Amino acid sequence: MLLDEDSQAKYLLNLLRTAGHDVITVNEAGLGSCPDSTVFNYARQQGLVVLTRNCDDFEQLHQAEPVHPGILAVYQNSDSSKNMSYQSIVAAISNLEAMSYVLKNQFVILNQWNY
């Protein structure tokens, strides 16, 4: 999994790794400050699912190039109390895995898997 620049908080990274996920950040991949299209193409070439809060841009990239390992999108609310916590993000990914959800070629809104 590749954490986009907006989602690479150390605490989230540690939670994901503790949960057993193989995760790298865009900074670790040498992609800091690169355009979203570069991040997306890197993820496609490396076979990595992208986790991002930059939902609109990555949804456009998904529509333009629908063949990819998957995109996990976390939508932010103008009311920050309604935003997903890092623990909720990890739980939502676990819910996807428990359902054997196939991420390949999918743009998945993680907020919908937060239960």
Provide the pLDDT for residue 90: 96
Q: Would the pTM of this model clear 0.75, i.e. be above it?
A: yes
**Domains detected in the chain:** 2-113 (3.40.50)
- Dihedral sign from CA coordinates of 27, 30, 32, 38: negative
The closest of 2, 12, 62, 5 to 32, measured between CA atoms, is 5
For residues 110 and 27, what is the distance between their CA atoms, to the nearest angstrom? 23
pLDDT band of residue 29 (cuts 50, 70, 90) is very high
